């Protein structure tokens, strides 16, 4: 007789194909975006990044690290962009490698807003934001992590220019061979800075009421969908995560519920929701009804944050999420789908190599050997479980 985990796997569709927009994914497991700062100084992804994503192509869907939509969007050193020809060519090698192994990949379109440093901005200028409010946050620069300065508030006439940058980035993503795109509207970056009343003190058409604060988000979605179509567009949200110095909205349920309902007009493929504090506790989910948010949105619901195998199986068993994204587990486990499926031990990531560097701690984590695969299967068949419980 099999173990409890084996039985749950047999009854679960976590490892079965699922329709996402116009694509049939091989399973419901998603690789979440992970900033690793391995691009060159011009924001071009090279062979190192291509190998990294190809190694992880067994995920039903890969969502890339955050990809800067413009030179001014950057908030972390050595992060890739998608706003010039060299970057597009670099990403083409990445997408070709993933597709050669049967995978699907979306880039995460990213503008950090105020979570940046002048040393990362063109000409050393100040980062921009909805309002000139200093974040209690740090930015990864060539000199290490540094405190973010007080940003410059965007003029009203500048905002359409940034919307156009998202539009061009989406067009470039398709030219680079990506299967679709994810809009980064989470973790206290630019779009969420507009959305929350804690970070948006504007008095023009982009500030004040909930409808006005959501205007920028919806204009970005409209621009991206106009290029990619709704079936190839997703968006990431973090309703109750206070990371990067972004205090919570005064009424997260109403604000993010409004956003979810408005997104229905675009027929998006999915919303990607960070449940709880990004890379932190899930317990705060008790103060926010994520299932209500899910019911408000007509597309697929992708859940993230703190997921391990049993939690993911439970989410599918009780229909709490359509897709599960794993972040930190993918750092050290390129064959995560197989490890989860057979209950194999997970590699432990080296935190010292998370940002910057080369292949060490990036592409050198081993996959399962035939002996390890056989041992894991036999161990579980005799009633054991060797599955690590490391959170995403």
pLDDT tens profile 6-31: 544 555 899 999 999 989 999 999 99
pTM: 0.94
Mean pLDDT in residue range 236-259: 96
Buried b (16+ CB within 10 A) or exposed e, 124-149: eebbbbbbebebebbbbbeeeeeebb
**Between 384 and 57, the higher pLDDT residue:** 57
Looking at residue 388, what is its pLDDT? 38
Domain assignment present for 291: yes
What integer pLDDT is reported at residue 1 of this predicted model? 36
- Residue 335 in this model has a pLDDT that exceeds 70: yes
**192 is in which domain, residue-wise?**
4-381
Domain of 17, CATH number, reads 3.20.20.70
Give the mean pLDDT of 229-235: 98
Report yes or no on 367 lying in a domain.
yes
What residues contact residue 174 under an 8 Å CB cut-off, 6+ apart? 227, 228
Q: Does 383 have pLDDT greater than 50?
A: no
The answer to whether residue 28 sits within a structural domain is yes
* 113 within 8 A of 189, measured Cβ to Cβ: yes
pLDDT band at 343 (very low <50, low <70, confident <90, very high): very high
How far apart CA 116 and CA 103 sit, in angstroms, is 32
The residue-averaged pLDDT of 310-326 equals 96
In the predicted structure, residue 5 carries a pLDDT above the cut 90: no
User: Phi and psi dihedrals of 178, rounded to 5?
Assistant: -65, 150
Contact 236, 242 (CB under 8 A): no
User: Would 386 be classed as within a structural domain?
Assistant: no
What value does the mean pLDDT take over residues 322-330?
A: 97
At 219, is the secondary structure helix, strand, or coil? helix
228 pLDDT above the threshold of 90: yes
Structural domain contains residue 228: yes
Residue 294 falls inside a structural domain: yes
Catalytic residue numbers read: 189
Query: Which H or E run includes 331?
Result: helix 328-332
In degrees, rounded to 5, the angle at the alpha carbon of residue 17 between the alpha carbons of residues 99 and 316 is 130
- In this structure, is residue 217 part of a structural domain? yes
Rounded mean pLDDT, 78-83: 98
pLDDT digit string (tens) for 177-194? 999 999 999 999 999 999
Is the residue at 388 inside a domain? Answer: no
How many structural domains are present in the chain?
Answer: 1
pLDDT, mean of residues 257-282: 94
């Amino acid at each position: 007789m099999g173990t409890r985990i084996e039985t749950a796997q047999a009854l679960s569709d976590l490892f079965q194909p699922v329709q996402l927009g116009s694509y049939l994914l091989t399973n419901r497991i998603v690789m979440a975006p992970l900033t690793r700062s391995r691009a060159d100084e011009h924001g071009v992804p090279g062979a190192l990044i291509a190998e990294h994503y190809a190694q992880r192509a067994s995920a039903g869907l890969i969502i890339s690290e955050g990809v800067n939509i413009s030179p001014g969007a950057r908030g972390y050193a050595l992060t890739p962009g998608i706003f010039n020809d060299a970057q597009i060519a670099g990403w083409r090698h990445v997408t070709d490698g993933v597709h050669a192994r049967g995978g699907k990949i979306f880039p995460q379109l990213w503008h950090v807003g105020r979570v940046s440093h002048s040393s990362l901005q063109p000409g050393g200028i100040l980062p921009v934001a909805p309002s000139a409010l200093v974040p209690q946050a740090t930015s990864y620069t060539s000199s290490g992590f540094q405190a973010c300065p007080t940003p410059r508030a965007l003029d009203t006439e500048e905002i359409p220019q940034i919307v156009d940058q998202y539009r061009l980035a989406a067009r470039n993503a398709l030219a680079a061979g990506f299967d679709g795109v994810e809009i980064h509207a989470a973790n206290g970056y630019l779009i969420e800075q507009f959305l929350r009343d804690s970070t948006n003190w504007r008095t023009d058409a982009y500030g004040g009421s909930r409808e006005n604060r959501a205007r920028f988000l919806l204009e970005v979605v409209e621009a991206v969908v106009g290029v990619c179509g709704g079936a190839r567009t997703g968006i990431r949200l973090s309703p109750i995560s206070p990371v990067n110095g972004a205090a919570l909205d005064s009424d997260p349920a109403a604000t993010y519920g409004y956003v979810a309902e408005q997104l229905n007009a675009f027929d998006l493929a999915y919303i990607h929701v960070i449940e709880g504090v990004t890379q932190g506790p899930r317990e705060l989910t008790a103060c926010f009804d994520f299932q209500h948010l899910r019911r408000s949105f007509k597309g697929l619901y992708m859940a993230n944050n703190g997921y391990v195998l049993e939690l993911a199986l439970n989410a599918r068993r009780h229909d709490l999420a359509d897709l599960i994204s794993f972040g930190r587990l993918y750092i050290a486990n390129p064959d995560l789908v197989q490890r989860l499926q057979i209950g194999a031990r997970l590699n432990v990531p080296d935190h010292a190599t998370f940002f910057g560097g080369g292949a060490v701690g990036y592409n050198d984590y081993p996959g399962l050997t035939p002996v390890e695969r056989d041992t894991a299967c036999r161990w579980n068949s005799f009633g054991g479980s060797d599955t690590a419980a490391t959170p995403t």
